[in-house]
Amino acid sequence: MSAFLKFTLAVDWISAQLGKVASWAVLAASVISAGNAVIRYGLDISNNAWLEIQWYLFAATVMLGAPIVLKLNEHVRVDIIYGKLKRNGPVYVDLFGLVFFLLPVMGLLFWLTFPFFLNMLRTGEMSGNIGGLIRWPAALMMPLGFGAMFLQGVAEIIKRIAYLRGLIEMDTHYEKPVQ
């Protein structure tokens, strides 16, 4: 089990690094958006590349930030039953969701988006807008994000099994979000 737990540490570290990239992408998108608005409405100058880079950065924020959200246990869940469970109940619900929902969906989405990204990279597809950007960097965010979520899901499964076997401590306390 120790090799599996080392794997979880590596995946957690990768997710943390991707989370840092995502947080910088938020800052960059905000600065670019504000600058673009000032230039566009103040100077009446526009460039489609500046508009497109904003949604590229948004894609990076969402796709690269999702694994760290899962690692931190801050992801969205339907808590009709979850919040009422005691002891190991939430851990079993997490395991069920990770095994039967997260992993199959992330695996399928990775499998579908990786060839899509490769095709864009190979063809050098460009935006149809004048002054638009190449599209493969935005397409790369999909398989990268889905793959990272898949790996983080595997790491979370390992951690929950290790917790149930008494090998690690985990905070299983769930606090219902403020509505």
pTM recorded for the entire structure: 0.89
83-92: list long-range contacts, CB under 8 Å, 24+ apart: 83/174, 83/176, 85/174, 87/172, 88/164, 88/172, 90/172, 90/174, 91/160, 91/163, 91/164, 91/170, 91/172
Q: Report the percentage of the chain scoring pLDDT > 70.
A: 93
Q: What is the pLDDT of residues 74-107, one digit of tens each?
A: 777 666 777 777 788 888 988 999 999 999 999 9
